[in-house]
Amino acid sequence: MTSELAETNADRQQAVAQQIRAGVPWGVFIECAYKDPATFDPKNAGEKQDHYEQRRQAASAICARCVVIEQCLAEAYKLKDYDTFRGGLTGDERRSTAKQRAGAAIRRLRANKI
């Protein structure tokens, strides 16, 4: 059953990739389109940690099923969107990885400079 599901998802990803290459905007395929937008909000000031964690897990599960998660994450980095949950990561997680990515890019540039 699990391998069938993986094959189905891989087939769906291939079909979506073909449509995107043909000019269909990737946003048409987002898994979160008809979900409660509050699920993807950052932690609210008065929100209890366990409630936030439930929302974060729900958002993660939705993103995990999404065939355009990579495009979503790339756009979040491009727009420097560090507020909402996008591309399977919280804003804080993206901010942290953006710093790591920038640091790695700088190290690569310095390593190539003679």
What is the number of domains present in the chain? 1
Kindly give, in sequence order, each residue whose CB lies less than 8 Å from that of residue 82, ignoring residues fewer than 6 positions away: 91, 92, 94, 95, 98
Inside any domain, residue 35: yes
Inside any domain, residue 54: yes
Boundaries of domain holding 44? 31-112
Counting as low any pLDDT under 50, the low residues of the chain are: 1, 114
CA–CA separation, 59 vs 6, rounded Å? Answer: 20
Inside any domain, residue 77: yes
Inside any domain, residue 63: yes
Inside any domain, residue 91: yes
Inside any domain, residue 13: no
SS3 for 18-82 is HHHHCCCCHHHHCCCCCCCHHHHCCCCCCCCHHHHHHHHHHHHHHHHHCCCHHHHHHHHHHHCCC
pLDDT, tens only, 20-41: 999 999 999 999 999 999 999 9
Inside any domain, residue 42: yes
Inside any domain, residue 74: yes
